[in-house]
Amino acid sequence: MATRNRTLLFRKYRNSLRSVRAPLASSSLEMASLTGTRSGVGPVIEMASTSLLNPNRSYAPVSTEDPGNSSKGALTVGLPPAWVDVSEEISVNIQRARTKMAELGKAHAKALMPSFGDGKEDQHNIESLTQEITFLLKKSEKQLKMLSATGSSEDSSVRKNVQDGVDLEINLGRNRYRPEEDDFGDMLNERQMAKIRKGEELSIEREKEIQQVVESVNDLAQIMKDLSALVIDQGTIVDRIDYNIQNVASTVEDGLKQLQKAERRQRHGGMVMCASVLVILCFIMLLLLILKEIFL
């Protein structure tokens, strides 16, 4: 498929226009500073012109003129909001969980192979890996919930989409995680048979292990339930970009209306009235008290 890159032409125009704009701008600054404060006229012009001629204007030094009337103010690269860090942390956790799952797969394979030893350390390894993975997934889930904090309306749609994206990743990860559980169950049955033959004290251990499996299945069910509410159905209307744009537009408008209503209600609210009346009364009482002290 054909494309055409117009960036060079664009940059050429931009540079030529910038050089045309620069002398004009410095002359206008001269006018502004002449009509402004008389002191420091010289240094202002000098600094301004050097900052304009500086090619890396995105980190231009703060000029001494009033930033309000400067339209060519430096574009400061804003810090992303705090929740971006949370989402990045979640991605990192999911990555870690994925590598651990790969390890777990290897450990399973190793444990299922016939070996000379008791296989106890393999079991421990598997258990610890499983617990770590569950812990990581739970932590990601908690952090996901944290993402739904208050913020501006537009920010919230970005946040919601980030949430959906992370959900996708978690679900993709989960689908790979679940098969491992079955293997573990199978393996347990084998060991179950062996242990029954061995005796009663081993049957207690078996009970413990069954408990652990039940617990992990319960955990899994719980997490699945929580996250399945946020699953994106592929191929349905919810997965269409144009549908989401329309919905965002209407919900943002609705949200604005609600906010305005809330603001109005709060202002005319009885609470504010009450509070202010009480405060005024307090002041009056205080005044009376002082007057009483003075005239007594």
Partner 1 sequence: MVLVTSVRDYINRMLQDISGMKVLILDSETVSNVSIVYSQSELLQKEVFLVEMIDSISASKESMSHLKAVYFIRPTSENIQKLRYQIGNPRFGEYHLFFSNLLKDTQIHNLADSDEQEVVQQVQEYYADFVAGDPYHFTLNMASNHLYMLPAVVDPSGLQRYADRVVDGIAAVFLALKRRPVIRYQRTSDTAKRIAQETAKLMYQQESGLFDFRRTESSPLLLVIDRRDDPVTPLLNQWTYQAMVHELIGLQDNKVDLRAIGSLPKDQQEVVLSSEQDAFFKSNMYENFGDIGMNIKRMVDDFQQVAKSNQNIQTVEDMARFVDNYPEYKKMQGNVSKHVTLVTEMSKLVEARKLMLVSQTEQDLACNGGQGAAYEAVTDLLNNDSVSDIDRLRLVMLYALRYEKENPVQLMQLFNKLASRSPKYKPGLVQFLLKQAGVEKRTGDLFGNRDLLNIARNMARGLKGVENVYTQHQPLLFQTMESITRGRLRDVDYPFVGDHFQQGRPQEVVIFMVGGTTYEESRSVALQNATNAGIRFILGGTAVLNSKRFLKDLEEAQRISRSGSHMV
Q: What amino acid occupies position 235?
A: G
> By rule CB under 8 A, what string of x and - marks binding of each residue 21-40 to partner 1?
x-------------------
User: Beta-carbon neighbour count of residue 129 at 10 Å?
Assistant: 19
Q: Which three-class secondary structure state does DSSP give residue 235?
A: coil
Q: Which two tokens stand for residue 278?
A: 């009480």
Nearest to 214 by CA among 193, 192, 184: 184
- Report the distance separating Cα 173 and Cα 175, nearest Å: 6
Q: Are 166 and 137 in contact (CB under 8 A)?
A: no
Site size toward partner 1 (CB under 8 A) is 66
Q: How far is the CB of 42 from partner 1 (least distance, A)?
A: 26
Rounded to the nearest angstrom, the gap between the alpha carbon of residue 293 and the centroid of all alpha carbons in its chain is 59
Nearest to 180 by CA among 97, 262, 116, 240: 97
Q: Are 184 and 126 in contact (CB under 8 A)?
A: yes
Site for partner 1 in 275-294 (CB under 8 A): none
> By rule CB under 8 A, what string of x and - marks binding of each residue 227-246 to partner 1?
-x--xxxxxxxxxxxxxxx-
**Residue 46 vs 85, nearer CB to partner 1:** 85
Site for partner 1 in 96-155 (CB under 8 A): 152, 154-155
- Report the distance separating Cα 291 and Cα 287, nearest Å: 6
Q: Is residue 221 close enough to count as binding partner 1 by CB under 8 A?
A: yes
- Report the distance separating Cα 105 and Cα 176, nearest Å: 10
**Residue 121 vs 164, nearer CB to partner 1:** 164
**Residue 40 vs 255, nearer CB to partner 1:** 255
Q: Is residue 165 close enough to count as binding partner 1 by CB under 8 A?
A: yes
**Could you tell me the end-to-end alpha-carbon distance of the chain, in angstroms, rounded to an integer?**
97
Q: Is residue 226 close enough to count as binding partner 1 by CB under 8 A?
A: no
Q: Which of 51, 123, 125, 157 binds partner 1 (CB under 8 A)?
A: 157
Q: Which of 41, 43, 128, 164 binds partner 1 (CB under 8 A)?
A: 164
In the complex, the residues that contact partner 1 under the rule CB under 8 A are 1-7, 9-11, 13-14, 17-18, 21, 57-58, 71-72, 75-81, 84, 152, 154-155, 157-158, 161-162, 164-165, 168, 171, 175, 178-179, 181-182, 185, 213, 217, 220-221, 224, 228, 231-245, 249
